[in-house]
Structure 1
Amino acid sequence: MSSVRGEFSSRFGFIMAAAGSAVGLGNIWGFPTQTASNGGAAFVLVYLILAFCLAYPALMAELVIGRYGQANAVSSLQKLSSKPTHKRFAFFVGFGGIVCAGLILSFYAIVAGWMFSATIEPVTKLVGMPGMTHWLSTQSLGRDLFFTSLFIILTIAIISKGVENGIEKWSKRLMPALLSILFLLIVYVLTQDGASKGLKAYLIPDFSSLLNPDLLVSALGQAFFSLSLGTSVMIIYGSYISKKENLVSLGAYVTLIDVLIAFVAGLLIIPAMYVAQAQGVDIFAADGSLLSEDTLVFQVLPALFNGMGEVGLFVGFAFFALMSIAALTSSISMLEAPVSYAVEKFALKRIQATWIIGALITLVSFTIIFNFNTLFGLVISLTTQFGQPLLGMLCCIFVGWLWNRGTLLKEIESGRPDIAATWFWKIWPWYIKFVCPIAIALVFIHSL
């Protein structure tokens, strides 16, 4: 079946695709602003702990489900049990993840559209088009509708090509470009006045805030959001992995890359905030809270780039090009979740399913744009703070409680024959059964 559905052609291809899904605006936009809003280095420390102690085990659960099922998220989950009640539960978890992915893409496309317009703006300044520059830099209904549509069309174009020629091919191209731009920008920003103060805030934790419940909720939500957990995405990607591959190491590589890039992005954004502050840009309110968290990169950083003169035009272009690439690497995975379900459930051709679902998500995005103040923050909260952790927890319950342990072991052994003798197998099945669901549930209950 995998040959018909498509399969990643190499280990590197899967790692780039899965890391591309994980590495997006959640890392480069969300993680630094969450860090700045939640105690700086204390948030970083809690995020790192939760990423490896809760997000990685949950990621492994989703990858194993996908590779065993070799199908879309709903079908893969339903293959784990023959009991009718379990199959209904599987549908709820799988389809819930697909809906969650679609809703995330609907607001994600809006933010990505802002990134696109901000990428083009320095070019119009450079060539002397003041009218276009003003249109691109001013939030308006027309601008948001145009660039949101453009971003979704680009995502559709990649997904319609399939797994190897679409997802894998473009992930291999976009991820190295993203990393190159990111490191070049870090080198530049760290040479500016005020950067050392930002590094101190980012790297030295205030241990008194480590157990702040709000910090824990934000860090868990960020870990799940950045790794695309609870959206059926990793179940889908798992279904495209060869049976010969070692899932344990693949999951570890994806988690490491995701955490690394989130951390490295913080090395760019947090010092850049303090560089802007040193140039007279207001960053924090009188009580120490971050100003304009949701639109930080569109207010603080352009002010910083403007203070650099003509060099700032090139730096601004590079930064927002980086953000656009990050958005695209994630969006292709989020669209793949509902597309794979539609193709296999309704026997649609891939290109047909991609355009239909892309159009539906565009309608949701337009609805959010027309009701921005009411819906934008609401959709973000419902999906990233509630939907993803809850659905991720249910996947852990599925693997830990409903899946036959022998079948589970056999599936992991197909890529790692000696797994039964390793510490991973001695710890992970019990961890996924008890620790992950309880810990995620506690944080989720607090968030309610």
Structure 2
Amino acid sequence: MTNVRDSFHSRIGFILAAAGSAIGLGNIWGFPTQAANNGGGAFLFVYLLVTLLLALPALYAEIYIGNQAQKNPVSALGDACSHFSEGIGRKAGIIGLCGAIMMLSFYTIVAGWMLAHTLSSMAELAGMTQASAWLANSSTERNILFTPIFIFLGAAIIHQGVNAGIERWSARLMPILLVMLIGLIIYILQQPGADKGLEVYLIPDFARVTDPELIISAMGQAFFSLSIGVGGMMVYGSYMQKDKDMGKLVLSITALDTGIAFLAGLLIIPALFVAEHAGLDVFQDNQLIGEGQLIFHILPALFDSMGTIGLIVSSGFFLLLSIAALTSTISSTEVPVAYMVEDKGFSRKKATWLVSIIVLCSSGLLIAFFDALFGAVIRVLTTILQPLSCLFYFIVVGWLWKRGNKLRDVSLQKDRKWLALWGNYLRYVCPVLLTVVFVNVAILN
């Protein structure tokens, strides 16, 4: 049976879906934590710089491969590498597909935490104190309940297809996320202590911008923030009309993603200083206490100190994070679904639910052996698999892919000089930059 490929029906639908893929917990959770621990404004300055120099070209390379092939990542990389070795390209695509499953296995657990905290605040407002406490406290039972809920929320959207599911729901969820984020920022900035947080966040200490650890942290965050290296952006690019203003689309996605990360810092870093002003212990030796537990301990304590209005703000904040997590999991789920539909002949519905069951089993394994596996899976994905996948994309675009690759078409470059410059930047500069990042991150870890 021949499957007719679905597609995005509008430019804005593609931008919102791709931005939704990039905008997730890495922006709203990871970026503010990294900024708070690495000099605030200095980190923001370096982050913006490396996003422009490295993350944006990496995003372009991934989307460009998918858009030119009009196929899922496994087939797209196979076609691009056919002159050299189609098998190597397809194997790289399979590795990216496995990376998407790995990302989903831990991401859905964390997303379940966000959903549980949303309901916890609502339960507290309703006077259900015992239920609220159970929802707010981490436990295996809570993970077993909420992880499947989140997996099947994503599946319910994915199985509807690209236009009816991904595009339609991204167009609904992304504006809601933006409105909620701005509303929370306005509220937090009116609280005592927020002005100190603004100063730390917006005024860089340029003496710190050459700190190697800060630079590496900013590079890693920029790379992870844009959700590059697991094929999600490649498959989204394949659903967009070929050669449809790729450069402008990638700039729009990067600008929206970076803007949300900036706004998240504008919310959370002032909130930390509001919490400190309220008497909570937030920093120790200029580092956040608990770091990764920032979202689940420090901010809830701040919200609790605000009384009833704090519970309303808390439910809105965790609902915001739940929406961000959902838009990110959709793209990662689409990677194996597209492969099974196009290469293996599954119906979209069957592929979606089969992938969801695989993710559920993978998440269950992490829940069962949480202490041993959870952190290890995240480290392997973010510090090894994603950087290597993206390095491979640069090598494909710059060196291995010849037939149909406009970035290496000499006849086109005679009339469009910028094409030659951009192609050479992706070919020579980006692999060197990314190799340096990868090596240094490996050393630090």
Query: What secondary structure sits across from 1:231 in the alignment?
Result: coil
Specify whether residues 329 and 411 from structure 1 end up closer, same or farther in structure 2 by C-alpha distance, changes over 3 A only. Answer: farther
TM value normalised by structure 2: 0.95
CA separation in 1, counterparts of 2:190 and 2:416? 46
Partner of 2:27: 27
Displacement of 1:208 in angstroms is 2.7
- Matched to 2:426, the amino acid is I
Specify whether residues 420 and 200 from structure 1 end up closer, same or farther in structure 2 by C-alpha distance, changes over 3 A only. Answer: farther
- Matched to 2:176, the amino acid is A
* Residues paired across the two proteins, number: 442
Displacement of 1:2 in angstroms is 12
Partner of 2:132: 133
Partner of 1:415: none
Identity level (%): 47
Confirm whether residue 289 of structure 1 aligns to residue 268 of structure 2.
Answer: no
Question: Any unmatched runs of 5+ in structure 2?
Answer: none
* Of 52-61 and 421-430, the range deviating more from structure 2: 421-430
Q: Deviations over 1:269-289 (max 9, x none)?
A: 10001101111111111x222
Q: Deviations over 1:283-304 (max 9, x none)?
A: 111x222111111111111111
Q: Note the 1:73-112 alignment, pairs <5 A.
A: 73-83=73-83, 86-112=85-111
Q: Note the 1:271-350 alignment, pairs <5 A.
A: 271-285=270-284, 287-350=285-348
Displacement of 1:421 in angstroms is 4.7
Partner of 1:62: 62
Contact 1:218 1:385 in 2 (8 A): no
Partner of 1:432: 426
CA separation in 2, counterparts of 1:86 and 1:209? 45
CA separation in 2, counterparts of 1:255 and 1:207? 25
Q: Deviations over 1:328-373 (max 9, x none)?
A: 0111001111111121221111111111111111111111122222
Contact 1:221 1:388 in 2 (8 A): no
- Matched to 1:11, the amino acid is R
Q: Note the 1:19-418 alignment, pairs <5 A.
A: 19-83=19-83, 86-243=85-242, 245-285=244-284, 287-404=285-402, 407-409=404-406
- Matched to 2:226, the amino acid is L
Query: What secondary structure sits across from 1:407 in the alignment?
Result: coil
Displacement of 1:401 in angstroms is 0.6
Q: Deviations over 1:8-29 (max 9, x none)?
A: 0000000000000011111001
Q: Deviations over 1:214-265 (max 9, x none)?
A: 2222222211211111111111011000125211100110011011110111
- Matched to 1:375, the amino acid is L
CA separation in 1, counterparts of 2:20 and 2:133? 32
Query: What secondary structure sits across from 2:8 in the alignment?
Result: coil
CA separation in 1, counterparts of 2:108 and 2:417? 41
- Matched to 2:335, the amino acid is A
Q: Deviations over 1:88-141 (max 9, x none)?
A: 321232112111111111111111101001111121111111221121011111
CA separation in 1, counterparts of 2:57 and 2:215? 18
Question: Any unmatched runs of 5+ in structure 1?
Answer: 413-417
Specify whether residues 274 and 410 from structure 1 end up closer, same or farther in structure 2 by C-alpha distance, changes over 3 A only. Answer: closer
Displacement of 1:153 in angstroms is 0.7
CA separation in 2, counterparts of 1:419 and 1:189? 51
Contact 1:2 1:240 in 2 (8 A): no
Specify whether residues 32 and 421 from structure 1 end up closer, same or farther in structure 2 by C-alpha distance, changes over 3 A only. Answer: farther
- Matched to 2:419, the amino acid is W
Displacement of 1:386 in angstroms is 2.1
CA separation in 2, counterparts of 1:147 and 1:333? 20
Query: What secondary structure sits across from 1:5 in the alignment?
Result: coil
CA separation in 1, counterparts of 2:2 and 2:62? 17
CA separation in 1, counterparts of 2:75 and 2:192? 55
CA separation in 2, counterparts of 1:88 and 1:367? 31
